[in-house]
């Protein structure tokens, strides 16, 4: 195997607000000898696709600033979940040609595990292509987004949905939001689902997924919509901020908030201000915050693939991708998930040949 070009996306500077491609992230190229690269018991991977997720913005900071995820190292390739092909293997669990998912460097080629420990490393997992779907589905619907949605709903709301009438989903057109809408309908077909997003196109996506009421929060008042179509029994919160406040004053008693994200506050140093916090105790609300694969609900993930892959094959759980071509587009992909300029799961396609 020859020496080949190896492109990488490295973390170049700490952003103050939104990510600026080519400022905070730099594309660089080096060379790699695919035959002589030491594996040290690991595998040499060729990257196929990488996931762009909102939480990565939290890793773009000074490492001395504490947070719930570790910071990226300046000057080093960033990392996130992705799909790859095994090129060479020193690991008896994998062979050349295996398709795998895992936490990968943003590089054309990388060794797993490498000499630099990944902050959020997890084992590689072999994956099989599902007829009619690209392998990149494992970066979204069958990846972190789907697992997050499944863990939150199945882990915290499997009983609550049976007696609830209304579920509200913010950020409802993203890969987590669409999964929540569709899986909630699988769990409890009687549920009335209200969903919000930030464009007319995204409103149509939420309707296609089964939302009974879908609205553009930039053009319609969330408090008014929830007052008309509520009250809410369950709120899946992807955004925090003003939408959370609108939800709090439109809850039934004994309601459930599943706190998944705070995307509206990701680029703000001071975090989210909740104006109606008192509604939590006045209405006896339960708030369940969680991180993927951690905490009391993580055990449900053991059944994720067994339950969800058949639902994907049946068309009950769908997948939508917003594709970015090549590693050079990674900065734009990471920025767009914060500015709302992506429609569907943001995925960076590194090598389309293997999809």
For residues 46 and 82, is the Cβ–Cβ distance under 8 A? no
Q: Is residue 113 reached through a cis peptide bond, with omega within 30 degrees of 0 on the bond before it?
A: yes
- Sorted by where each starts, the structural domains of the chain and their CATH numbers stand as 3-140+320-354 (3.90.180.10), 144-300 (3.40.50.720)
Helix (H, G, I), strand (E, B) or coil at 88: strand
- pLDDT for 117: 67
Position with higher pLDDT, 229 vs 267? 229
**Mean pLDDT of the 163-182 span:** 97
189 vs 155, 181, 196, CA distance in Å?
Answer: 18, 11, 19
- Binned at pLDDT 50, 70 and 90, residue 270 comes out as low
Q: Tokens 């990701």 map to which residue? A: 266
- 12, 75 contact by CB (below 8 A): yes
Mean pLDDT of 88-107: 96
* Span 63-83, average pLDDT: 93
Q: Does position 1 have pLDDT exceeding 60, yes or no? A: no
| pTM for this model (two decimals) | 0.93
């Amino acid at each position: 195997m020859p020496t080949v070009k190896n492109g990488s996306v490295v973390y170049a500077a700490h952003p103050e607000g939104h990510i600026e491609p080519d400022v905070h992230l730099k594309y660089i190229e080096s060379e790699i000898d695919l035959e002589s690269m030491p594996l040290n018991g690991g595998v040499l991977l060729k990257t196929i696709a990488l996931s762009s997720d909102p939480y990565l913005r939290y890793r773009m900071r000074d490492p001395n600033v504490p947070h719930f995820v570790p910071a990226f190292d300046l000057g080093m390739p960033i990392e996130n979940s992705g799909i790859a092909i095994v090129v060479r293997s020193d690991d008896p669990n994998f062979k050349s040609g295996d398709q795998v998912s895992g936490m990968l460097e943003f590089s054309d080629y990388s060794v797993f595990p490498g000499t630099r420990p990944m902050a959020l490393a997890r084992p590689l997992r072999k994956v099989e292509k599902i007829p009619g779907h690209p392998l990149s589905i494992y970066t979204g619907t069958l990846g972190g987004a789907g697992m997050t949605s499944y863990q939150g709903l199945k882990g915290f709301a499997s009983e609550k949905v049976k007696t609830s009438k209304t579920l509200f989903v913010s950020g409802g057109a993203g890969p987590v939001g669409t999964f929540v809408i569709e899986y909630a309908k699988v769990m409890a077909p009687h549920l009335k689902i209200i969903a919000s997003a930030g464009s007319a196109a995204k409103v149509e996506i939420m309707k296609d997924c089964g939302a009974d009421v879908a609205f553009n929060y930039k053009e319609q008042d969330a408090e008014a919509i929830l007052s008309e179509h509520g009250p809410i029994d369950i709120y899946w919160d992807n955004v925090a901020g003003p939408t959370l406040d609108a939800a709090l004053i439109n809850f039934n008693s004994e309601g459930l908030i599943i706190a998944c994200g705070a995307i509206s506050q990701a680029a703000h140093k001071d975090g989210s201000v909740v104006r109606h916090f008192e509604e939590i105790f006045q209405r006896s609300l339960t708030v369940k915050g969680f991180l993927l694969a951690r905490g009391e609900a993580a055990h449900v993930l053991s059944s994720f693939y067994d339950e969800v892959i058949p639902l994907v094959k049946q068309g009950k759980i769908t997948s939508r991708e917003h594709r970015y071509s090549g590693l050079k587009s990674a900065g734009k992909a990471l920025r767009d998930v914060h500015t709302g300029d992506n429609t569907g799961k943001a995925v960076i396609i590194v090598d389309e040949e293997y999809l």
